Structure 1
């Protein structure tokens, strides 16, 4: 009886409108699951049931039900490219990519040689993620091994699914931010052994971008990629025209920017390339054949004036695309607002972005690209209970905008609600964030 009582206490039942993509799809605008008046049931850290209120209520009458009617539950959001040490420099004025790195990024990242400082920012960074509904991030740390340790340690305390890596740079950056081919390989290997596969954590080999790594360093990281075939790889690709020309000068023997990474075994499934704004035809084809992923960073691309991502071309080539904030060149941790910027970019390219496609690229689609669709990215039974409760009426304006979309305390048009929030959202939109079944954020309430 005591064991059964304990299990009862571990069951949580939520009543709300529910929206997700239960399976991988190339057509998210039609292949979604929407339950207008639904129940989501979790036990311990897992989702154990999902369905309509009328169909399930008889099984859960004895449980306390969290009544969230009028709100929308979606899977926890996945941010596929962002920079933990750039948290404090978000919204720094002006410049384009290369100047911005020298004037803002490198001086900020140098501060992370101080372990206490790295620990402090790691806490703030993760709080910003969860308060904006992001439950999984693919994250760049700094060159300092201890900063990556601080980030992983903070994420492990939340039982968070986090992919991260120590940045590797051995040239064309300040001396205090340089490692070496041997040190990059050694520290990356030590971090892999310490954190990869520990709980819900995973490691990503992280050359910042080709110009800041010598061929020797790229080769050393390629050796690690071969030694650890299940680790991820993250870097930048073809973000800025001046950057591309610089790569051409630094690597004259290579056919393209992507070919630089490819020659060292860094292009494969599980590789995520940020930006990809100015690709050659052969690069599109190679990304597809390798099953690699593009991280579409619309806010950052607009902020730095880097260019407009060609989502339609990526669709035509059948390339994996995920959405990403790229904080701090991106201007918000909020992935709903990032989706709004993606819509604007697609409008400028005359290729509309359906809000359901946007949601897919930061939930199930992103999970599939990372090989994690069996654990995150949806509301399927058996998956980790990472989910977000959205409040469409979080302020006076949003309540006015969405009032006709909420009938009898249920949401009647989820696509319209999503689109409205992609333009209006801030952290108040995120009523609650759950990681592995635990509420780690509630609006206007601090949780330990």
Structure 2
């Protein structure tokens, strides 16, 4: 404000002096005009100096000036120096990020909001076959054309990674993970999991082979045990009790082998092999009958059919998954509990729920319930004949049907196991209108 006042008084002084000089020649207006003109010429020269400095030598020292122009030049110069430092710091940070990305063994690819390639590290060239001079600006789906990747990219739901073979080498297995950041931009990371994939395949083959090999001796063993059990009255009481225990353990081993073989098949077989229309009410009625037989009258088991939709899927797999949930409710909810098998509409499509008012589950266990052999109470699970694979089977069946499992439970407040099926798996239930 002080500089503006100084400029005002400078203009007033110049105009006043030249006006008085004009009075001497009887031309005060000409003197005033000349004073204002001189003042404008001075400022135009300063503007020219500013333009020349900004255009040709903005990184050098500013022009010499006094008053308000000197203040402007000094402020711009300080601002330029601050901006240069900020830019240098940003360039240094960006260079460190790029250097660290170059040092990574995983592929890192930066995509703009349209999905076009902006930058990638050298690992991406090796894994994905990207080429610096010809691929920059290309859309990512032009280079990774696998239908599953295109669907994954367009879906914009990147909570889970996607496993695919490398687009340039079918022998390499890559795990892709997309992340949204900034102004709807994406960061694509790809990791080589070939070794882990092979180890997992070896594990699956081992479990499948061992389970298959165990099936024959177990069948022979249980057959002889059944034969001996038919003549249990001829045996000493102590031997008869031992025979009963052996039958129970052999049956438990058979259940375990059957579940292992089921899991192996679900993991190896391609999904959607069967796309039949499955009417849910008859399915739930059959499962209700089996659950009542398992309960032996110790539970109240009811149906609640609220939806008129049917499912597209594999009826055997769906029956296996829902049976596991219903049988778990019978085994672990406690005697005298009420169990409801419910089929209802859901915002995502439809939901099949198994609800009980039993002992419930501590929420700390819920994230791990679908892990193989994970048990909330190992002693109780063993006593009830559980294999620890039931919920793992449920999870794999639902994945093969594009569905998800939701679990809601608290101690002493019962539990709800909800299978949510998407709209694309829904069809009109003809049996409901028959």
TM class by smaller structure? under 0.3
Report the structure number with the largest CA radius of gyration: 2
Task: Give the number of the structure whose residues are more often helix, by fraction.
Answer: 2
TM-score, structure 2 normalization: 0.22
Task: Give the number of the structure whose residues are more often strand, by fraction.
Answer: 1
TM-score, structure 1 normalization: 0.22
1 or 2 for the larger relative contact order (CA 8 Å, sep ≥6)?
1
